C-alpha cells in the first residue's frame, strides 16, 4: 500500500521496512544552474512535480512562485495562481474531493505492464486539480465545447478536446492501435464499439466533474468486468490479466493513463494526463545528494532548460523549503532520544519506561504501547529459545520530514537498528541490522513529548506466539553447535552475498547509503520487493542467466522474478535449486545448519509463500543468517520475526 506523505496510517508497531526507494536515471550536467546543495526529499519531489507540470502544459503555465511563507504556486498565463501544497492532512476521500497539485502528483504511475489489481487506494492520476483543468481545457461547458475537435479513432469521429495536443494525441494513439488490431483479434475486440469520449457529467455520487466533461478521456469497448463498482476483484483481475498490454503501452506513449492501474479499477478508461506520464517517465528514481534534482529530465531540450532555470530562480535565496512549517531542533533531539531510551527499555524489559513514551489517554497511543509490551516479551522469549542475550540495541535515526507547529508534529524518519547478541558462555559478539521507516505523531503534553500515533511495518508481527515452541530442547541443540567454516564456498556464492549486503537498503552499512540498487524498480509499494531482491542477488551476484520465465527489463519483470511463491517454485522445478527441508520451525531448524550462503528460505503463511530471504552467513554458533528486503534485514537470524507455529519454511539449496 502506498503511504501518503501527508496521511498517517495508524498502526501499532516498531521496526519497519524501508520503502519508497526509487531508481535514478542519470543526466548530464548541461544546465549551468544554481550551485548544488543538499535538498530534502520533499523539495526534490516538489521541483520534479513542477517541472513535469511545466513540460506537460507548456502553453498554459508561465512561471512558478515561492513566497516568504514557503507556499509555492504555479503561475498560469492567464495570471491565475494554483497552489502546489495546502499542507493539510487529508484522508484518501478528502484528497479525491479537494486535491492540490501535491496530492495529484503524489502517487507515481507505474509504466510497467500490470496484470494484478493495485493496492488499496493506489490510484495514480485519479486525483484531479480542477483549477488546472479549467485553465487548460475550459472552465464551463460552453468553453469546453468550443474547444472540442472531431477526432478520428479509426471507424468514426468522436469529440475530443483540441487544447494541449489532446485530440492529436488520441488520433496518433488510435492510429497505431488500429494498425495492430488488423492482425490481432484480441485488440480489435477491446476497441469497438467505443463507449464514448466527451460527456459533460458529474462522477456518479459526487459533485466532481468527470474527465469526460473536459473531453480528455475515452472509454473503449465495455466489458462487465471493467469497473470496480460493477465487478468483483476476482473478475476485475481476470479482465486485467487478459487485456492486451500493447493497447496500454501505446496509449501511455501518447501520455494517456489507464484506469486499469487504479485500485478502483476502470479498465476501459484512458485519460489524457501528460503530467502523470511525464513524471513516471523521467522521475521514477531516488534522489541522491550528489545528483541534481532534475536528474532524468530531457535537459537537452531548450524549453526544459528554461523551466529548470525558472524553478531554481523561484527558490533562489529562499529558505530551504521543506514540508515542515517549523523545523524544531527540540523535536529532532527528542526523536533521537526516544529511540535511544526505547532500545534501552527493550533490553531492560522496563515496561514502565516504555509506557512514558506514549499518550495512553488515546486509543492509538494505548494500542501502540500494548503492542510494544508484546514485542518486548517476544524478543526475550527468542533469547531463551536461542540461548543468547542481547547486549546492545542501537539506532541510527535519519529524520526525513517534520510537519507541524510548536506542540504538535508529524515526523517521518529512516532508522537502521543494530542488534548485538552473545551466546551463553561465549564472548564473541554477533551483529544483525534491521532497517525501518517510521511515521509518527508527537505532541507536547504536561511539559513533555509523547507519541500519539505511530505507523510502521513490524518485522516481529508474525512472532508473538513463540511460547508455543518446545524452547528447552531447541536451545539445547542450538547451543551445542559450533562455528561453521564457510570460507570454502565458491566465488559465485561469495559475490551473491556481497551484492546482498551492499543493496539491502535501510539495513545496509552507512557507507552504502541505505539504498536499493538504482538499476531496479522498487516493488514495495506494489506489495513487496523480497523476490525482486532475491532475483537480483542470483543474477547480479550469482551470475545466473535470465530466461523467458525468469526475467527483468525496463518494462517490468516476470512472475518468478517478482513473486515469492513463483520464485520458489521456479527455482525448485527448473533445476536451479533443490529442497533441503520443509515444515514448521520445530521440524526444520536442525536442517537449517545445512544452508550455505547464497541459498534461500521461503516463508509460508496459511498455505501461501509470502516472503523469501537469502542466506548470507552464519553466527558464532553456526546459526544461519539472512539478508532481504521488506523488512530490510542484513545478517539477521533466519527465524527472527517468523516464529509462529503456523508459519512453515522452505529451506532451499541453490545450485551455483
Q: Which residues of 375-412 are buried (b: 16+ CB within 10 A; e: fewer)?
A: bbebbbbbeebbbbebeebebbbebbbbbbeeeebbbb
How much is the mean pLDDT over the chain?
Answer: 87
- Cis ω before 6 (30° cut-off from 0): no
- For residue 285, what pLDDT band results from cuts at 50, 70 and 90? low
Distance CA 30, CA 53 (A): 21
pLDDT of residue 328: 57
Rg of the chain, C-alpha, whole Å: 27
- For residue 467, what pLDDT band results from cuts at 50, 70 and 90? low
The model's pLDDT over 209-248, given as tens digits with 9 standing for 90+, comes to 999 999 999 999 999 999 999 899 999 999 999 999 999 9
pLDDT of residue 110: 94
Take residue 278 and report the three cell numbers written for it. Answer: 511525464
Torsion of CA 372, 376, 382, 385, to 10 degrees: -140
Q: Over 60: is that where the pLDDT of 13 sits?
A: no
Average pLDDT over residues 129-150: 96
Distance CA 334, CA 445 (A): 14
pLDDT of residue 27: 30
pLDDT of residue 214: 98
The residue count of the chain comes to: 656
For residue 62, give the nearest of 315, 276, 311 by alpha carbon.
311
pLDDT of residue 148: 97
Q: From residue 482, how far is each of 160, 218, 328, 623 by CA, in Å?
A: 74, 67, 51, 9
Percentage of the chain lying above the pLDDT 90 cut? 62
Q: Over 70: is that where the pLDDT of 29 sits?
A: no
Q: Over 70: is that where the pLDDT of 263 sits?
A: yes
The model's pLDDT over 556-609, given as tens digits with 9 standing for 90+, comes to 999 999 999 999 999 999 999 999 999 999 999 999 999 999 999 999 999 999
Average pLDDT over residues 327-354: 83
The more confident residue out of 3 and 426 is 426
Pick the range with the lowest mean pLDDT from 356-360, 514-518, 634-638: 356-360
The model's pLDDT over 481-501, given as tens digits with 9 standing for 90+, comes to 999 999 999 999 999 999 999
Q: Over 90: is that where the pLDDT of 291 sits?
A: no
pTM, rounded to two decimals = 0.54
pLDDT of residue 402: 84
- For residue 331, what pLDDT band results from cuts at 50, 70 and 90? confident
Average pLDDT over residues 27-31: 33
The more confident residue out of 526 and 591 is 591
Highest mean pLDDT (candidates 274-288, 385-399, 610-624)? 610-624
Question: 3-class SS at 178?
Answer: helix
The model's pLDDT over 359-390, given as tens digits with 9 standing for 90+, comes to 888 887 888 888 788 888 888 889 999 999 99
Q: Over 80: is that where the pLDDT of 11 sits?
A: no
DSSP 321: P
Q: Over 60: is that where the pLDDT of 419 sits?
A: yes
- For residue 24, what pLDDT band results from cuts at 50, 70 and 90? very low
- CB contact at 8 A, 407 and 328: no
The model's pLDDT over 498-516, given as tens digits with 9 standing for 90+, comes to 999 999 999 998 888 888 9
Amino acid at each position: 500500500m502506498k503511504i501518503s506523505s501527508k496521511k498517517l496510517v495508524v498502526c501499532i508497531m516498531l521496526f519497519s521496512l524501508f520503502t519508497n526507494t526509487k531508481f535514478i536515471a542519470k543526466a548530464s550536467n548541461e544546465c549551468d544552474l544554481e550551485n548544488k546543495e543538499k535538498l530534502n526529499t520533499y523539495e526534490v519531489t516538489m521541483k520534479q512535480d513542477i517541472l513535469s507540470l511545466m513540460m506537460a502544459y507548456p502553453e498554459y503555465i508561465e512561471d512558478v512562485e515561492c513566497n516568504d511563507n514557503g507556499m509555492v504556486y504555479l503561475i498560469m498565463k492567464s495570471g491565475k495562481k494554483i497552489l502546489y501544497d495546502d499542507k493539510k492532512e487529508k484522508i484518501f476521500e478528502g484528497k479525491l474531493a479537494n486535491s492540490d497539485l501535491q496530492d495529484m502528483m503524489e502517487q507515481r504511475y507505474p509504466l510497467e505492464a500490470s496484470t494484478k489489481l493495485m493496492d488499496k487506494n493506489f490510484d495514480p492520476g485519479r486525483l484531479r486539480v480542477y483549477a488546472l483543468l479549467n485553465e487548460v481545457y475550459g472552465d464551463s461547458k460552453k468553453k469546453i465545447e468550443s474547444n472540442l475537435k472531431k477526432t478520428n479513432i479509426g471507424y468514426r469521429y468522436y469529440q475530443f478536446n483540441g487544447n494541449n495536443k489532446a485530440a492529436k494525441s488520441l488520433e496518433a494513439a488510435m492510429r497505431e492501435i488500429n494498425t495492430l488490431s488488423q492482425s490481432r483479434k484480441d485488440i480489435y475486440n477491446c476497441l469497438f464499439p467505443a463507449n464514448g469520449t466527451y460527456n459533460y457529467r458529474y462522477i456518479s455520487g459526487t459533485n466532481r466533474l468527470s474527465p469526460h466533461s473536459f473531453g480528455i478521456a475515452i472509454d473503449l469497448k465495455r466489458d462487465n468486468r471493467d469497473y470496480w463498482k460493477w465487478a468483483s476483484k476476482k473478475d476485475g483481475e481476470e479482465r486485467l490479466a487478459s487485456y492486451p498490454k500493447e493497447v496500454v503501452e501505446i496509449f501511455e506513449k501518447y501520455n494517456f493513463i489507464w484506469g486499469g492501474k487504479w485500485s478502483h479499477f476502470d479498465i476501459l478508461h484512458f485519460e489524457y494526463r501528460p503530467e502523470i506520464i511525464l513524471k513516471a517517465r523521467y522521475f521514477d528514481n531516488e534522489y541522491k545528494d550528489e545528483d541534481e534534482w532534475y536528474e532524468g529530465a530531457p535537459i537537452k531540450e531548450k524549453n526544459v532548460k528554461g523551466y529548470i532555470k525558472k524553478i531554481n530562480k523561484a527558490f533562489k535565496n529562499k529558505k530551504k523549503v521543506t514540508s515542515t512549517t517549523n523545523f524544531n531542533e527540540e523535536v529532532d533531539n527528542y526523536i533521537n532520544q526516544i529511540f535511544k531510551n526505547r532500545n534501552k527499555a527493550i533490553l531492560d524489559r522496563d515496561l514502565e519506561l516504555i509506557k512514558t513514551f506514549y499518550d495512553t489517554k488515546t486509543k492509538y497511543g494505548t494500542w501502540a504501547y500494548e503492542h510494544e509490551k508484546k514485542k518486548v516479551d517476544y524478543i526475550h522469549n527468542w533469547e531463551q529459545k536461542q540461548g543468547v542475550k542481547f547486549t546492545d540495541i542501537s539506532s541510527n535515526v535519519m529524520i526525513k520530514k517534520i510537519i507541524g507547529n510548536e506542540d504538535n508534529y508529524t515526523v517521518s524518519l529512516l532508522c537502521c537498528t543494530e542488534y548485538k547478541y552473545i551466546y551463553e558462555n561465549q564472548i564473541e559478539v554477533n551483529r544483525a541490522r534491521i532497517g525501518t521507516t517510521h511515521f509518527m505523531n508527537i505532541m507536547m503534553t504536561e511539559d513533555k513529548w509523547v507519541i500519539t500515533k505511530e505507523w510502521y511495518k513490524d518485522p516481529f508481527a508474525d512472532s508473538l506466539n513463540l511460547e508455543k515452541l518446545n524452547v528447552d530442547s531447541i536451545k539445547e541443540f542450538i547451543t551445542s553447535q559450533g562455528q561453521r567454516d564457510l570460507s570454502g564456498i565458491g566465488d559465485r556464492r561469495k559475490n551473491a552475498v556481497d551484492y546482498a549486503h551492499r543493496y539491502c537498503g535501510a539495513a545496509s552499512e552507512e557507507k552504502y547509503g541505505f539504498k536499493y540498487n538504482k538499476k531496479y524498480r522498487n516493488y514495495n509499494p506494489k506489495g513487496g520487493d523480497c523476490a525482486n531482491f532475491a532475483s537480483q542477488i542470483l543474477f547480479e551476484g550469482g551470475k545466473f542467466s535470465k530466461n523467458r520465465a525468469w526475467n527483468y527489463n525496463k518494462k517490468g519483470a516476470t512472475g518468478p522474478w517478482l513473486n515469492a511463491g513463483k520464485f520458489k517454485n521456479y527455482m525448485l522445478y527448473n533445476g536451479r535449486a533443490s529442497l533441503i527441508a520443509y515444515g514448521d520451525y520445530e521440524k526444520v531448524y536442525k536442517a537449517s545448519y545445512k544452508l550455505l550462503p547464497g541459498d534461500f528460505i521461503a516463508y509460508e503463511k496459511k498455505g501461501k509463500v509470502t516472503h523469501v530471504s537469502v542466506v548470507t552467513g552464519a553466527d558464532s554458533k553456526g546459526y544461519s543468517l539472512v539478508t532481504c528486503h521488506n523488512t530490510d534485514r542484513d545478517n539477521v537470524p533466519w527465524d527472527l520475526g517468523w516464529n509462529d507455529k503456523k508459519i512453515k519454511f522452505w529451506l532451499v539449496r541453490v545450485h551455483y
